[in-house]
Amino acid sequence: MRKLLALITALVLATASYAHGPDKGKNGGRQVDAGDYHVEMVVQQTKLAIYISDKNDKAVDAKGFKATGIFMVSGKAQRIELRPETANKLSGNSNVPLPVSLKGAVQITLPTGRTVQAKYE
């Protein structure tokens, strides 16, 4: 019985960790789950880009998507509006340089009006 319980526990934990997707995305940024999507965040000085893919890591067309990033930068809240740029990419600019390891969240509004949130800690 103990062995069976241990096997079930191991399978549940393996399945749960697999469902979260990789921590690093295809573009080299940090990737997290947001609803039914994987959201990768890439920071380059004052530019912020997010790449959206489905749970199978297939690119999702960003047309009709909108997003707002809210992050703490040097002790102050920094709000960045993100708009579709190309394919599965939304981007926006900050008034201040951004650290690569931004902490905060990106709220994404889907074309259907539903929202999902990607949290970066």
Structural domains in the chain plus CATH codes: 22-120 (2.60.40)
Contact predicate 120/32, CB 8 Å: yes
Contact predicate 59/53, CB 8 Å: yes
Give the pLDDT band of residue 1 (cuts 50, 70, 90).
low
pTM: 0.80
Q: How far apart are CA 48 and CA 63, in angstroms?
A: 18
Average pLDDT, the chain: 86
Q: How far apart are CA 19 and CA 39, in angstroms?
A: 14
| Confidence check: pLDDT of 49 > 60 | yes
